[in-house]
Amino acid sequence: MTKRTQAARIQELVNSSRGEVTKYAGEVLAELYQGILKLPPVTLADGTTARVEAYYPPQLDEDGQHHCGIDVRLSSGDLLEFTVRNTGWERSFVKQYAQTPPTGPNTR
């Protein structure tokens, strides 16, 4: 197999895997968002309290990236804004290419 053919095969594998892995991003982000909103207020090191508020719910942008926003309201009235988004993915090929153990008794 030539280097060019190998590179094309690897790119094809990466492209097909991206969709298989990232299809869960929206559902995972929705669960994370709801979990973050349920956090109780926290007390910071200097005694300031902070509580989480909804900013905007999970959504899909024109580039196909999932993201959501949360606000953190400080006891002083100040506000911190955070955006949470899926920043990458990784595919495990171990299971796909792992050798399966023999199912029957060992014979020679």
Tell me the pLDDT band of 99, cut-offs 50, 70 and 90.
Answer: low
HSE (side-chain half, CA atoms, 13 Å) at 78: 6
pLDDT of residue 4 exceeding 80, the answer is no
Of 70, 90, 94, 81, the C-alpha closest to 25 is: 90
Given this model, what pLDDT does residue 107 score?
63
Given this model, what pLDDT does residue 10 score?
77
Given this model, what pLDDT does residue 13 score?
75
Average pLDDT of span 78-91: 87
Given this model, what pLDDT does residue 5 score?
83
Q: Tell if the pTM clears 0.85, that is, is over it.
A: no
